[in-house]
Structure 1
């Protein structure tokens, strides 16, 4: 089985970038929360150990693909000469820039661009970065995206993504109301990426990270997020929107609904 086999297997669902930008714009404040920062702070220490780097190591140029609110960009800016951070969402980048200013970091450059549309030739990024970092981002969503990620680096790479994720509320809505019966909602991304890397002669170091958490939120807030989430998959009818709202309300107590999530994330690290 060659690269083309796993490229086809990589369950590519061509996204509407306008929709993707709206989705992440709406979630910027959520991802800019203290809880998320505390988790990513713990993860950053583990990631440095995983890629066999330390805070005493100094990177020259780091690329953060799908940087979001810029937490990892900021942390890498402390141990790098220069960091370039890319994201599709204007609101995510606004949060990232604000966070960098608060920490007085001035060695991070932000680029608003969808990764599949970004030209390495135009930006002169071919073999520019000694660390290319893509954590939990949907930006790298095809074989072509992965190869572009490799092409802009010179040494070290990190890629992470879900291999499994169960959400008590969204899974029920997906199956009961929308009729989606997908045992692999995250497709074959990490599996395909691993095999493509093997076929290219790379042998990634692999680790799996298990986590579970719960989140309580008002019905209105949960409903809005569900419309954004499922609206990426299909155009929701008014009837479906009503059913989603009714289902969320049926699971709420005093106007508050709880989501319980369990997940398994794969970390890949490899060298060129």
Structure 2
């Protein structure tokens, strides 16, 4: 008997399957379904990440954001606040096409994340959400969702600690881990080479490349957070599979400097390009 087909409408998973260049996405830190829709309607975006770790997004706001993004076409991905299993369940039950787990440290933690994200027998996720199915097109039945979710939904972990970097090859090899996602700021802090004033040290560049090579060797995908279109283009040209190209707060901050001065006819004072410099 052939295995069940994948759930349709997971745009990020489909982009990975096509393997025709980097999948580009945006980051949501501000709550509100209108923010979600604005980001999701950006041309060429495959995914929008709802940031429940550092963003102003609580459980209710996450439940509003996920369907708003999915209705526009891109995949809603949720970064949970911590690697607790109930948080993974809440995100997937809301209909997220994948979860991103921050601050991973060990292989055992990676295995625990997979177990929380998968239905039995691969994991221990419980079934019962009335919302999950509605975030796919066509909408599957609950039985179809149960049979297809394990192979369709994306389980992603962030490599941003010294411990995870040391064990990156073993973490990449864990069955059920789909993406190693690099958090350059925390990774730099944790290995002793923080990003200061936007400058990345060669040691951090080498660490990032080590994660990328580990993902490739294990047949997994590698993602990275970037702070400029120029930086994103560099990673795209290197072959990274999933690249964030903008954060809602930073986009707003970058658009504001000089606007008042321009209207008043005075000299623009300039300013930083956003929160991350």
Same fold (TM over 0.5): no
Q: Which structure is richer in relative contact order (CA contacts within 8 A, separation 6 or more)?
A: 1
TM-score of the pair, normalised by structure 1 = 0.31
TM-score of the pair, normalised by structure 2 = 0.31
